Structure 1
Amino acid sequence: MGHTTESSWVPSVTLRVGVGTEDVAALLLGADGRVRGDADMVFAGQPAHPSGAVRHDKASLSLALHEVEPEVERIVIAGAAGGQSLAAMAPDRAVVLAYLVPAPDDARAVVFGEFYRESGGWKFAGIGKGYASGLAELVTAYGVEVAEEAAEKPAPGLVKQPVAAPAAAGPVSLTSVEKLPAGGGTAGDDGGHPAPSGTAGGADASAGSGKTGWASSVAGRMQGWVSGGGARALDEGGESGVFGPDFKPFTAKGEGDSVVTVDSRVPAGPVLVEATHQGADTYFAALALDANNEDDGPSLFSSQLPDFTGSTVVEAPEGRPLRLRLAAYNAWTVRVRPVGAARRLRGTLKGYGPEALLFTGAPADLAIDFKGDKDGDGHVALWCHKVADGTVLSPRPTLLLNKTGRRQATVPLPGGPLLLLLLGGGRWSLTVREPDF
């Protein structure tokens, strides 16, 4: 039963995923296509992954794709065969994907589809594979070790069982799953996505808040962008050009006003800074600090978007750690990653909030559809940095768009490699089109 649909990109934001049945589960898989341990199963009996990126809540799943640990390559969505479709909704309640599953015949459990990483972002592929023996058989296929008594009497759903002893890392037993607390409050770990994020770049305050000064400040700090060893390629094809050195991601989590000091894993030079902030009717801002512990130029982020998610590029200083000052009301996460982890702009790309994007294609026209915030307001701007010789940003970026409110526009893109800084105060969609020449 079932079939595989053509893969489609999804925004690297927090998605609410439902399959029409309460018996829905997520399996977080490593590069080998298997779970790493019992914590990598999220279902009603174990409703939160330790990273906090995946949660089971009210018969649906919450996937914070921008929070997923880098070791996780795929997230499989499974459930009882009663569900006939999978749908995912963005924080602004826009439906970003819907996949219909053929009615099962003798199957008791179904793998609806999977989210997987590609080119620094996330894609979804429908699967629709059924398992006649139920979820116990299904999860076994992904490295879960089902206890003998559970295998003899396969249940249509996953049920929390008493725990005899803490489970060690490795195969998961359905009879030894305990409820785990959500992760939080840690700084300096190496968890987290990408992107892409799928995650998000720049400030998104009102049009009169000094956007030109912000962009000029970024441009000035980027002039010394020269790649080091272990650089990450611009694209999968291995063409010449790099976007800075590679390094292990840094993540910090907290709540309220804070100062974040990035550790020594992050080298000097341009880096991708991603941030999320929970809650509605609130405010979030981030600024870099200079050697005198004072604000170093305009804000990296300045937003009143609900459930904010964003990314931008900043210069990590030489000889001292990068430090960020956060103005926040609620829980936040900040992640620092190589610039090469930013989402690639190709085809149609959708997002929510500010985002740093990479473009490596030929000259093209870029169609921009800016939906704005919940009231249709908000500011949108697009700055274009040429990356000279694949290593150094242009000192004078081009301002391609600078408007307020809902907007549809088409702007020209030169050939890549480019770094695009989209300052989006709401939902947006970008489509790359071949020019008429």
Structure 2
Amino acid sequence: MGHTVRGSWVPSVALRVGAGNVEVSALLLGADGRVRGDADMVFEGQPVHPSGAVRHEEASLVVELGAVEAAVERIVVAGSAGGGVLSAVAPDGEAVVACTVTGGPDALAVVLAEFFRESGGWKAVEGGRGYASGLAGLVTAYGVDVAEEEPAAVAGPVPLTGVAKVPGQAPPVAGAPAAWEPVGAQPGATAGEPVGALFAPPVVGGPLPVAAAAGQVAAPAPPGPFPPADRPYELVEGWEFGPVFEPFVVEGRGNDVIQLDDRVGDGPVLVEVAQEGRGYLGLFTLDRRNRDETDFLLNDLLPEFRGSTFAQVPKGRPLRMRLAADHRWILRVKPLAAARRLEGTLHGYGPELLVYRGGGADLRVDFQGSPEDGRGYAGIQSYGVEGRTGGRLPAMDLLLNEIGPLRQTVPVPRGPQLLHLRAEGAWTFTVQELD
């Protein structure tokens, strides 16, 4: 375990950042050193940044540096105490940052560390600036608008103005019954297998049961043979957005660079990936300089990973992607029109890109949570593509942005829509179209 020094490089992976029992929060800053709005503060009461790149989980932060928006230049990690022992741990368990920070005898809050961009990567530096006015004084210094009714000196999370937190479902407690059942199931019924799963036969046998007691987490069903069989190649009738081409398939083991050939025209395409076993899987597009683009495509630790997303084929050059994997994998690139259709009730496991062609609807979301700890992230982004045949995807609407098991209903606009789901566990969607 090393100590950070000014200018220490850190890998652009998902880091778990914590300081023991000290409650931590994050501030995402622009080039002017200030937040762009209250949404750029991540803490217990507002646990997920809109980009999904920073999350608050059980008194610590998960910071996915590779997913941070380009407009964010620095990330400040603050603690609601006079100091603490900060650590940032990579997915492989290595502590890439470790330091002891003290803000002074009168400090009620302290800057524990900062991550900042340099030369296309990220560096870390230990903090030490203490605030006698507490966390409220600290976040105000970075442009956060603190609610007027809150006293200036506080030792816990600070209420923010303009923040609307949609309540999720709390994790199950010891002795409580399971909080999740498949939609339409009778009490105590066993979940069925996914309908039309991403890869067939399904590797995960339907949604996973939530642990009935604290500390107990159900494991996925035993996987089938690898690589999993592909779904039948069918295009959504009447879908016009994105290039049409014969599927592109490649298999490998470990890290690799994948380049599509010139038969794939420019525009967004569907990317399906599966990995054998338990380990890390990341997928990133490469720019003209052969470096990672700002946004990741996939960044997961789900066991027996099966997932899909979209990638943008650039105009005038082939799509190149960097895949980081621990085990055997298979990757398939298809037209967007080959994505699974969102109709009726749909089961899945992990991230997935879905096509919706119905009218305005209510979407019932049942999210199981992570198979590792029963929590996990679930987010849904929607892209309206009516009247579009090519080019880039339009601006997205954020339909869901939550941590932990949940059962919620969210409104879905009239199709055609692409729904981009990021989920760290099993889920069930049920669509109820409006009259």
- Report the TM-score when normalising by structure 2: 0.48
Give the structure, 1 or 2, with the largest relative contact order (CA under 8 Å, sep 6 or more): 1
